[in-house]
Chains A and B, each alone.
Chain A
Amino acid sequence: QKEVEQNSGPLSVPEGAIASLNCTYSDRGSQSFFWYRQYSGKSPELIMSIYSNGDKEDGRFTAQLNKASQYVSLLIRDSQPSDSATYLCAVNSGTYKYIFGTGTRLKVLA
Chain B
Amino acid sequence: EAGVAQSPRYKIIEKRQSVAFWCNPISGHATLYWYQQILGQGPKLLIQFQNNGVVDDSQLPKDRFSAERLKGVDSTLKIQPAKLEDSAVYLCASSFGDQVQQFFGPGTRLTVL
Query: Which A residues are closer than 8 A to B by beta carbons?
Result: 4, 6, 8, 31-32, 34, 42-46, 49, 88, 90, 92, 95-103
Q: Tell me how far the C-beta of A67 lies from the nearest C-beta in chain B, rounded to whole angstroms.
A: 15
Chain B contributes a number of interface residues (CB within 8 A of A) equal to 23
Is there contact, CB below 8 Å, between B56 and A88?
no
Besides A43-B105, A102-B40, 20 more A-B contacts (Cβ < 8 Å) are A8-B40, A31-B99, A34-B101, A34-B102, A43-B104, A43-B106, A44-B91, A46-B102, A49-B100, A49-B101, A88-B43, A92-B98, A95-B99, A96-B50, A97-B56, A98-B33, A101-B42, A102-B41, A102-B42, A103-B42
Is there contact, CB below 8 Å, between B99 and A100?
no
Q: Tell me how far the C-beta of B39 lies from the nearest C-beta in chain A, rounded to whole angstroms.
A: 10
Residues of B within 8 A of A90 (CB): 102
By beta carbon, the residue of chain B nearest A34 is B101
CA distance A3 to B69 in the complex (A): 28
